[in-house]
Amino acid sequence: MTAAVAANPRSLDGDTRFLDPRVIAHITNLELVARFIVQGFLIGLHKSPYHGFSSEFSAYRKYAKGDSFKFIDWKVVARTDRIYIKQFEENTNTRCHILLDASGSMRFGGADAFPGGHSLGIQKWIYGRNLAAALAYLMIHQGDAAGLGIFRDEHASVISARSSTVHLHQLYKTLANTEPSRETNTEKGLAGLPERFPQRGLIVLISDLLDDTERIIEALKGFSYRRHEIIVFHLLAPEEREFPYRENIEFVDAESQQRLTAQGSYIAQAYREALAGHTDKIVRFCRQHDIDFVPLTTAELLSSALLAYLSKRQRAS
């Protein structure tokens, strides 16, 4: 179990820009977003020490119309003047469900996170949505079945896991048409889902975890007791982790709209301690139940999350 998976983004990003969340946030077509993120990641992965996550080389066969160019062995083409495709033995048939927090607090981040609009990150919802799209793309293109659950403060809206391209486009459409709203109740939002996923698989939770600590733990227990593999991506804006505010600022609750005016420098220490206590309790639970807990900020390259997923996917196979 890995309580916190750390990746070196510089070793994975190669020369591509499309792992930078601030660049990819300007693209509205989720199919393109997913493709750019994953292909950029795989280029970087090829240039890094990390190899062999989802498949092992098996044999060659002749190229057939419709085959992906990425599996052409160009060295063999140069030697034989014939096009051959590398075949792989893939670890398939894993059922993966992505559970994405769509509560109002996920709207935070980006230009509105810091006076003057100088945030390092982007909106949490955009980052989480793009990550979910990229993970679904990666899952289905490596032969797994991907499903999606959107949750807030009531029973989640769920699309069952399948592995077709048509299904992948349905996931993109759902993500594109969803907006963060209402309050968070992780326990209620995810209630009943463990029973709906009777076949053991991989659960990927993407959330800012800004909810009652016990509610979050109770929600995770249901999946853990049914022996699902679980990854928790704890997604926060950089300002939420660091709390850089110093001036007299009006803070507005993104879900309840309650307002509080306070001197940032006076409450910074108490805020950091409260966040650390909340997070540490969840991390301890994850460590005890073999759940991968991956802290992310919306300024981080998306390679960190994809590497964590592939590491878990390899161990789960």
CATH number of the domain at 200, please: 3.40.50.410
Give me the DSSP letters along 106-159.
GG-BGGGGSTTS--SS-BHHHHHHHHHHHHHHHHHHTT-EEEEEEESSSSPEEE
Rounded Cα distance between 13 and 20, Å, is: 9
Domain C-terminal end among 89, 110, 141: 89
Query: 165 and 143: one domain?
Result: yes
Residue pLDDT tens, the chain, 317 long: 444 444 444 444 444 678 899 999 999 999 999 999 988 888 776 554 433 444 444 455 566 666 666 666 666 666 666 666 665 444 446 899 999 999 999 999 887 776 666 778 999 999 999 999 999 999 998 888 999 999 999 989 999 999 999 999 999 999 999 999 999 999 999 999 998 888 889 999 999 999 999 999 999 999 999 999 999 999 999 999 999 888 898 888 888 888 989 898 999 999 999 999 999 999 999 999 999 999 999 999 998 899 888 888 777 66
pTM over 0.85: no
Count of alpha carbons within 13 Å of 151, Cβ hemisphere only? 30
59: its two tokens: 């044999």
Q: What is the DSSP letter of 90?
A: E
Classify residue 4: in a domain, yes or no: no
Claim to verify: residue 245 and residue 201 sit in the same structural domain: yes
Same domain membership, residue 201 and residue 234: yes
What is the tally of structural domains in the chain? 2
Domain end, chosen from 66, 89, 112, is at 89
In a domain, 1, yes or no: no
Q: Examine residue 3 and state whether it is found in any structural domain, yes or no.
A: no
* Nearest CA-CA partner of 231 in 305, 174, 130: 305
Whether residue 228 is found in the same domain as residue 310 = yes
In a domain, residue 247? The reply is yes
Domain assignment of residue 160, yes or no = yes
Cβ of 208: how many Cβ atoms within 10 Å? 24
- Indicate whether 128 and 237 sit together in one domain: yes
Same-domain status, 124 and 238: yes
How many Å apart are CA 90 and CA 145, to the nearest integer? Answer: 13
Which residue segment(s) compose the domain that 28 sits in?
Answer: 9-49+92-316
